[in-house]
Amino acid sequence: MKSSSGDHPPLNNTDNSSLDHSDYSLLMLDNQLCFSLYVCSKEIIKKYKPLLDPYGLTYTGYIILMALWEKDNVTVKELGTRLYLDSGTLTPMLKKLEVQGYIKRIRSSTDERNVFIHLTEKGREFREEALQFPKELMCTLDLTPEYAGGLLQALHQMMQKLEVEESQGKD
């Protein structure tokens, strides 16, 4: 990833007299937190692919299983909230995981609008195999446990702030 400002092309503006060029630095990709997070997320997810492919899983399928390992027998809505996924993204993934035998979807007998997600035996057993994934990923990223822990803590703080802002915006 390029990071020095010398790697960027100069501004193309014929009337430079009234513009403060430092304002344009706000629009440089290297100065965007969201872009850095996007690139890191995309590249880390790419590193999961060789670990998950033998099991027929995508990263999204994997995080669905991780959420169910934490709390099984949840509604689609609860699972979507936990994973920050809307039902349009989640439902096709759940159908695929059910066909693969990792989960079972069961419609509520008291309220047909609710569908509960349950891990199958295969889904529970896969947890043991998945124990290796975080360790393998940490080795490929070459991060110290201290640095990774601090980064994770900072990201969790950011997630909490974003959740508060979103909940305040809904009021």
Least confident span in 121-130, 131-140, 161-170: 161-170
User: What pLDDT sits at residue 18?
Assistant: 53
- Do residues 148 and 138 touch, judged by C-beta distance below 8 A? yes
- Mean per-residue pLDDT of the chain: 88
Residue 4: pLDDT band by 50, 70, 90 thresholds? very low
> pLDDT tens-digit profile of 73-89?
999 999 999 999 998 99
> pLDDT tens-digit profile of 96-105?
999 999 999 9
Residue 166: pLDDT band by 50, 70, 90 thresholds? confident
Mean pLDDT confidence for 52-61 = 97
User: What pLDDT sits at residue 33?
Assistant: 92
User: What pLDDT sits at residue 2?
Assistant: 43
Task: Answer whether residue 3 shows pLDDT above 80.
Answer: no
pTM of the model: 0.81
- Do residues 83 and 159 touch, judged by C-beta distance below 8 A? no
Residue ranges of domains in the chain: 46-129, 131-166
- Single-letter code of the amino acid located at 8: H
Query: What's the per-residue H, E or C state across the chain?
Result: CCCCHHHCCCCCCCCCCCCCHHHHHHHCHHHCHHHHHHHHHHHHHHHHHHHHHHHCCCHHHHHHHHHHHHCCCEEHHHHHHHHCCCHHHHHHHHHHHHHCCCEEEEECCCCCCCEEEEECHHHHHHHHHHCHHHHHHHHHHCCCHHHHHHHHHHHHHHHHHHHHHHHHHHC
Please identify which residue in the block is written with the tokens 């969201």. 34
User: What pLDDT sits at residue 1?
Assistant: 44
> pLDDT tens-digit profile of 104-125?
999 998 988 899 999 999 999 9
Cα 41 to Cα 47: distance, rounded to the nearest angstrom = 10
Task: Answer whether residue 47 shows pLDDT above 90.
Answer: yes
User: What pLDDT sits at residue 13?
Assistant: 45
DSSP state of 11: P
Residue 65: pLDDT band by 50, 70, 90 thresholds? very high
Angle formed at CA 89 by CA 165 and CA 157, multiple of 5 degrees: 30
The CATH code belonging to domain 46-129 is 1.10.10.10
